[in-house]
């Protein structure tokens, strides 16, 4: 009887503590870039619920400490797929995706304030010391619920037919006024062949102020303090 009781106790012993989250679906590494001394910071991952490239409607996924030193580094682990509120498609029948931005916030910042990071310039509830906040304007973290088919609109948008899962994506600023007429016509024709319903809808994609492409293997996030959104595509053409 005593042996049976001991066996029952062993069988009921938890194999991991209650804080164990399982294996991460993706781990993202990066560093913080600043021209001055760094305050105590945390790296945040923010799912974007608005239309690209906006960063004004966000949902906090996780926080991770920024390690002091030069460079100041961090590692963010994501344990869950993108939330439903952040999932979108470019058009009916296209793959479901979601995008997130990495951000830097002062350590201990309440999550309700972190979620206002994208509206920093006009949000009076966010501390005025915006130089302590920042995002990585050059990367999106993209979640794909399924493989991206070749020849699809989503392949054109991402710059590749990527498999399902998480991907680090480069974001390049584009000045739409710099797109020549023949380039625009070729782009519209390409997107119409990919199933875009009208010339106007195709032009909207072609004239977006950014272009995406998969990041190189080993590329890291870079959080730029004082930067809270995608840079403007205005100005003179190169």
pLDDT for residue 223: 92
pLDDT number for residue 110: 81
- Which pLDDT score, from 0 to 100, does residue 68 have? 81
User: Which pLDDT score is estimated for 122?
Assistant: 38
In this prediction, residue 80 carries a pLDDT of 93
pLDDT given for residue 63 in this prediction = 92
**Could you say which residues of the chain have pLDDT below 70?**
1-21, 113, 115-131, 228-236, 238
Both structure tokens of 27: 């781990």
How high is the pLDDT of residue 13? 42
User: Tell me, what's the pLDDT at 230?
Assistant: 64
pTM of the full predicted structure? 0.83
* Separation between Cα atoms, residue 82 and residue 100, nearest integer Å: 9
Cβ atoms within 10 Å of 215's Cβ, excluding its own:
19
């Amino acid at each position: 009887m005593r042996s049976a009781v001991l066996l029952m106790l062993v069988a009921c012993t938890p194999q991991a503590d209650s804080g164990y989250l399982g294996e991460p679906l993706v781990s993202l590494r990066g560093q913080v870039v600043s021209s001055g001394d760094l305050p105590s910071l945390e790296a945040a991952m923010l799912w974007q619920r608005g239309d690209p490239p906006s960063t004004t409607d966000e949902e906090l996924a996780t926080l991770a400490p920024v390690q002091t030193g030069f460079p100041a580094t961090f590692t963010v682990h994501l344990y869950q797929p993108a939330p439903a509120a952040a999932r979108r498609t470019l058009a009916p029948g296209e793959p479901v995706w979601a995008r997130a931005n990495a951000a830097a916030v002062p350590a201990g910042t309440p999550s309700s304030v972190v979620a206002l990071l994208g509206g920093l310039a006009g949000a009076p509830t966010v501390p005025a010391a915006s130089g302590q906040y920042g995002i990585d304007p050059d990367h999106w973290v993209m979640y794909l619920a399924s493989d991206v088919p070749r020849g699809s609109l989503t392949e054109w948008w991402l710059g590749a037919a990527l498999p399902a899962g998480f991907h680090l994506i480069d974001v390049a600023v584009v000045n739409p006024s710099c797109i020549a007429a023949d380039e625009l016509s070729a782009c519209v024709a390409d997107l119409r062949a990919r199933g875009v319903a009208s010339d106007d809808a195709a032009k909207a994609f072609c004239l977006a102020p950014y272009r995406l492409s998969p990041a190189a293997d080993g590329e890291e996030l870079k959080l730029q303090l004082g930067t809270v959104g995608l840079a403007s595509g205005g100005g003179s053409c190169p």
